[in-house]
Amino acid sequence: MKSLSERIAARAVEKNSPLQSHGDENQNRAVFLALRPDVKQALEDGWSIKSIWETLHEEGKVAFGYDAFRRYTKRLILLPAGQNPTPEHPGQSCVTRKTEPKTKETPLIAGFTFNPSPKKEDLF
């Protein structure tokens, strides 16, 4: 039995008409998800994203552009789980960074102060 993700991808591909040259985002995503194992293997074999897209595009397996293919590759293959960009803020990571608590050993960094007459030893 196919996984839920595979069934959703197949449904999205079947649902959209073949007259749409670029399709909608769901169809493009579904096509990419169906090809993801092959794309991932090609990346592991050392092929560039551009080479993979060109080959799939020439074969007629992807009808969407290189930029979309690159975004799908980044979001669905290259980024570790939990670091996918949020829909509200594309390009930003969902991961929050842990900050170290300040302790007595942690020195405070003073701000920048402009000195119009520099010391000679600082210049060398």
- pLDDT, residue 19, reads 43
- Could you tell me the residue ranges of all domains in the chain? 4-78
CA nearest to 52, candidates 64, 34, 70, 75 = 70
Q: Which of 14-18, 20-24, 73-77 has the lowest mean pLDDT?
A: 20-24
Residue 102 pLDDT grade (very low, low, confident, very high; cuts 50, 70, 90): low
How many helices (DSSP H) and strands (DSSP E) are in the chain?
A: 5, 0
- pLDDT, residue 74, reads 94
Out of 20-24, 42-46, 105-109, the most confident range is 42-46
